[in-house]
Amino acid sequence: MAFYTDISKYYDKIFPISKVTVDFLKDSLGNPPKNVLDVACGTGEYALELEKQGYNLKAIDLDSKMIEKLREKAKKNNSKVSFMEGNMINLGKDFSDEKFDAIYCIGNSLVHLDNLNEIQVFFQDVRKLLNEDGIFIFQIINYDRIIAKELRSLPTIENKEVPLKFERLYNLDEATGKIIFKTILHVDNKEIINEVNLIPLMYDDAISMLKSAGFNKVKAYGDFRRSCYDKENSYALILEARQ
């Protein structure tokens, strides 16, 4: 996907690994060893860190440049993380003979699918790939808040060490119902501009679709510190789902 290929060189500087997120995942996964699948893994920072903590990691991402970065880091660190380039919509086929104790998809990746039907298929595939007591975790932007407040942007990300600035602009396309997500990366005395369409997955729809896929126990949080989810004020929507 050109959207991420263009920023892959700077990805870890824009989105550095967060200890809070790692701690959240570890708490949700339970004590290692566990077989874990990282969907839309990016450059693999979380997969690599969780492997260091004793988990068995497999990772998948659509973008070849992201996987290339993960390959470089895995080789440098003698990591045993298994990774592949692939589309999350084909998860059921790519891992048809495997079972996992946990599957997670963070970083607002889920909403890059084309429509709600594809998200529903993804949820169904995840459930089939999980062991009976397995857990599914995903994190997206809180689109209830974005839509209700007609927000047009998220806070600009800055990294003064590089230095860089990463602007994130939102525009709801009334005709398609999708969010036009525009980013502007200011780095190396240039601007890298990209646009991609996102599905504004709302809380009620997400809960309904998870239950339809067979997840009957769902917990919602507004951030990785496990704050209570608030439709109007939470910046993120994080869901933990079990069968």
* Cα–Cα distance for residue pair 229/227, rounded to 1 Å: 6
- Render pLDDT for 110-157 as a digit per residue (tens, 0 to 9): 999 999 999 999 999 999 999 999 999 999 999 999 999 999 999 999
Query: Collapsing DSSP states into helix, strand and coil, what is residue 4?
Result: helix
Report the DSSP pairing between strands 130-141 and 100-105: parallel
**Any idea which residue has 């974005």 for tokens?**
146
Six-digit token string for 84 = 């592949």
Q: At what angle do helices 45-52 and 19-29 cross, to 10 degrees?
A: 60
Round the average pLDDT of the chain to a whole number and report it: 96
Per domain, the residue ranges of the chain are: 2-142+201-242, 145-198
**Residue-level pLDDT, tens digit, the chain, 243 residues:** 566 778 889 999 999 999 999 999 999 999 999 999 999 999 999 999 999 999 999 999 999 999 999 999 999 999 999 999 999 999 999 999 999 999 999 999 999 999 999 999 999 999 999 999 999 999 999 999 999 999 999 999 999 999 999 999 999 999 999 999 999 999 999 999 999 999 999 999 999 999 999 999 999 999 999 999 999 999 999 999 999
Please state the CATH superfamily assignment of the domain spanning residues 2-142+201-242 in this structure: Vaccinia Virus protein VP39 (3.40.50.150)
* Cα–Cα distance for residue pair 204/231, rounded to 1 Å: 10
Among 20, 169, 198, 23, which residue's Cα sits nearest to residue 109?
198
Neighbouring CB atoms inside 10 A of 37's CB total: 28
**pTM for this one?**
0.96
